[in-house]
A and B are shown apart, each in its own frame.
Chain A
Amino acid sequence: MRKVTFPHMGTSVFIFSDLIRDLGNEPIVPLQPNKKILDLGVRYAPEFACLPFKVLLGSYLEAMERGAEVVVTSGGNGPCRAGHYGEVAQKILDSNGYKIEILVFDSVFRNPFQFIRKLNYLNKAKLSYWSIAQLIRFYWRKLQALDKLERCTHKVRPRALNKGITTKVFKQGIEWIQQSRNLGEIEEAEQQGLLALKNIPQDPDRMIIRIGIVGEIYVLLEPAVNHEIEEILGNLGAEVDRSIYLSGWAHDNTFGHKKDSLHYARPYLGTAIGGHAQEGIGHTIMYAQNGFDGVIQLAPFTCIPEIVVKTIAPRITKDYGIPILTFFLDEQTGRAGMQTRLEAFTDMLKRKKRQPLKVVGGEKYARVFGN
Chain B
Amino acid sequence: MEKTKIGIPRAFFYYIYYPAWRTYFESLGCEVITSPPTTKEIIDLGVENALAEACVPVKIFFGHVQKIKDKVDYLFIPRVMSMNGKTSYCPKFLGLPDMIRSAIPNLSRLIDITIDLRKDPLTFHKAAVKVAKDLGHTAWEGLRAFHKAAHIHKDYMALLHKGVFPNNAIQGFFSENAGKTEFAYNDFIENKGSKQTPLRLAVLGYPYTVYDSFVNVNLLEKLKGMEVEVVTMEMMDPQILKKQRNKTVKRIFWTFSEMASRTAYHFFENSKDIDGIVHVTAFGCGPDFIVDKLMEIEAKNKHSRVPFMSLAVDEHTGEVGMMTRIEAFCEMVRRKKEAVI
A residues whose Cβ falls under 8 Å from a Cβ of B: 46-50, 53, 75, 77-81, 83-84, 87-88, 91-92, 95, 268-271, 273-275, 277, 301-305, 307-308, 310-315, 328, 365-371
Contacts and interface: CB of A to CB of B under 8 A. Distances in A.
Contacts of A79: 88-91, 94, 253-254
A273 B287 CA distance: 13
B54 interface: yes
Given A270-B79, A314-B102, A87 B94 contact: no
A256 B76 CA distance: 33
B94 A271 contact: yes
A365 B104 CA distance: 10
B292 A301 contact: no
A88 B108 CA distance: 42
Per CB-CB distance, the 5 closest pairs between chain A and chain B, nearest first, are A78-B253, A308-B95, A304-B286, A370-B112, A315-B102
Interface in B227-261: 248-250, 252-254
A171 to B, nearest CB: 36
Contacts of A268: 98, 102
Interface majority SS on A: helix, strand, loop or mixed? Answer: loop
A48 B288 contact: yes
Given A307-B53, A310-B53, A81 B95 contact: no
Contacts of A50: 286, 289
A273 B110 contact: no
Contact of B92 (A307, A368, A369): A307
Interface in B82-99: 88-92, 94-95, 97-99
Interface in B57-88: 74, 78-79, 81, 88
B99 A311 contact: yes
Interface string B105-141: 0011111111000000000000000110010000000
B50 interface: yes
Contacts, number: 148
A92 B94 contact: no
Contact of A371 (B90, B94, B113, B292): B113
Contacts of A77: 253
Given A277-B95, A368-B110, A370-B79, 7 more contacts: A78-B88, A95-B301, A269-B95, A270-B97, A311-B51, A311-B54, A311-B99
A187 to B, nearest CB: 40
B297 interface: yes
B109 A366 contact: yes
A78 B89 CA distance: 10
B293 A80 contact: no
A277 B113 contact: no
B286 to A, nearest CB: 4
B94 A84 contact: no
B326 interface: no
A116 to B, nearest CB: 17
Nearest to B54: A307
B294 interface: yes
Interface string B22-57: 000000000000000000000000000011011000
Contacts of A301: 53
23 contacts: A46-B292, A48-B286, A75-B250, A77-B253, A78-B254, A79-B89, A79-B253, A81-B287, A81-B289, A81-B290, A84-B252, A95-B297, A269-B98, A270-B112, A271-B79, A304-B286, A307-B53, A311-B54, A313-B102, A314-B102, A366-B110, A370-B78, A370-B130
Contacts of B134: 368-370
